[in-house]
């Protein structure tokens, strides 16, 4: 009975971590809304890029397929979070296509078709693998690589912050949401003993800590610079 109680406790904490991850992910998914309010108001995408939404859709669809019962077991929270993410990204892409110029419209439509084609190939290809363990490894490595590359994107922002000594291009709440999301699914993966979940989210958690540390350091430095009074005031 103690063994069953132990596993039951792990399952409960796994669900708690997964629900928390879904909540933090929702905050992350709605973060582009101010951008799209501006796009709708101006009826133009201006200089905004639609590529992040294309890539996010691809990532969500791959991770959604990994979380499905066809590939892995006991990963309901992965299915819910990535279904929600894919829905949001698809809505953003449709709005972007509706309000961008003709050249970008065609480009985005082609990229969207490419995303569906790639995911279709992954789904069809993985279903051709008869051995369930091999299928799990195949899709697991793809989802892990997709997540790692997504979490690696903040490295450019981190480099920019260090180079400019400014946190202007690294919003605090976005960094915090990313950290909380990664941390939640790190715990979810650990409680579920799923290396394809806890490995990329572990990397995301570490990068989130780095981002928040840099924000605190450079934000405090900028405040100190602004409040520092000169020793000699010239009235000339």
How far is Cα 57 from Cα 82, in angstroms, rounded to an integer?
Answer: 9
Looking at residue 48, what is its pLDDT? 83
Looking at residue 222, what is its pLDDT? 58
Tokens linked to 216? 């605190």
Looking at residue 169, what is its pLDDT? 66
Q: Enter the DSSP assignment of 153.
A: T
Asked whether the beta carbons of 142 and 122 are under 8 A apart, the reply is yes
How far is Cα 230 from Cα 228, in angstroms, rounded to an integer?
Answer: 7
196-219 b/e (C-beta count within 10 Å ≥ 16 → b): bbbbbbbbbbebbebbbebbeebe
Please tell me whether residue 146 adopts helix, strand or coil conformation. Answer: helix
Looking at residue 223, what is its pLDDT? 56
Looking at residue 6, what is its pLDDT? 45
* Pairs from 165-172 (Cβ < 8 Å, separation ≥ 24): 165/218, 165/221, 165/222, 166/218, 166/222, 167/214, 167/215, 167/218, 167/219, 167/222, 170/211, 170/214, 170/215, 172/212, 172/215, 172/219
Looking at residue 96, what is its pLDDT? 93
In order along its 236 residues, the chain shows pLDDT tens digits of 444 444 556 788 899 999 999 999 998 899 888 889 998 999 888 888 888 899 999 999 999 999 999 999 889 999 999 999 999 999 999 999 999 988 899 999 999 999 999 999 999 999 999 999 999 999 999 999 999 888 777 777 777 778 877 776 677 877 888 899 999 999 999 999 999 999 999 999 998 898 888 888 887 765 555 544 444 443 33
How far is Cα 49 from Cα 52, in angstroms, rounded to an integer?
Answer: 7
25-45 b/e (C-beta count within 10 Å ≥ 16 → b): bbebbeebeeebeebeeeeeb
Residue ranges of domains in the chain: 1-227
CB within 8 Å of 148: residues ≥ 6 apart: 199, 200, 203
- CA 164 to the chain's CA centroid: 25
Looking at residue 215, what is its pLDDT? 86
H or E stretch including 68? none
């Amino acid at each position: 009975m103690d063994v069953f109680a132990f596993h039951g406790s792990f399952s409960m904490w796994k669900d708690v971590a997964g629900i928390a991850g879904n909540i933090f992910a929702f905050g992350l998914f709605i973060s582009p809304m101010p951008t799209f309010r501006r796009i709708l108001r101006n009826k133009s995408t201006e200089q905004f890029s639609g590529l992040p939404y294309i890539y996010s859709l691809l990532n969500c669809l791959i991770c959604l397929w990994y979380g499905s019962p066809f590939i892995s077991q006991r990963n309901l929270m992965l299915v819910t979070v990535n279904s929600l993410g894919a829905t949001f990204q698809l809505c953003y892409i449709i709005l972007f296509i509706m309000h961008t110029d003709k050249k970008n419209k065609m480009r985005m439509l082609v990229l969207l078709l490419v995303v569906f084609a790639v995911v279709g190939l992954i789904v069809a290809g993985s279903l051709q693998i008869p051995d369930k363990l091999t299928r799990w490894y195949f899709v697991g490595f793809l989802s892990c690589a997709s997540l790692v590359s997504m979490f690696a994107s903040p490295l450019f922002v981190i480099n920019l912050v260090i180079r400019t000594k400014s946190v202007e291009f690294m919003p605090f709440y976005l960094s915090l949401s990313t950290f909380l999301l990664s941390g939640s699914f790190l715990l979810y993966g650990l409680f579920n003993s799923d290396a394809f979940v806890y490995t990329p989210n572990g990397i995301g958690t570490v990068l989130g800590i780095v981002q928040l540390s840099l924000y605190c350091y450079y934000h405090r430095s900028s405040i100190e610079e602004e409040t520092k009074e000169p020793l000699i005031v010239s009235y000339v």
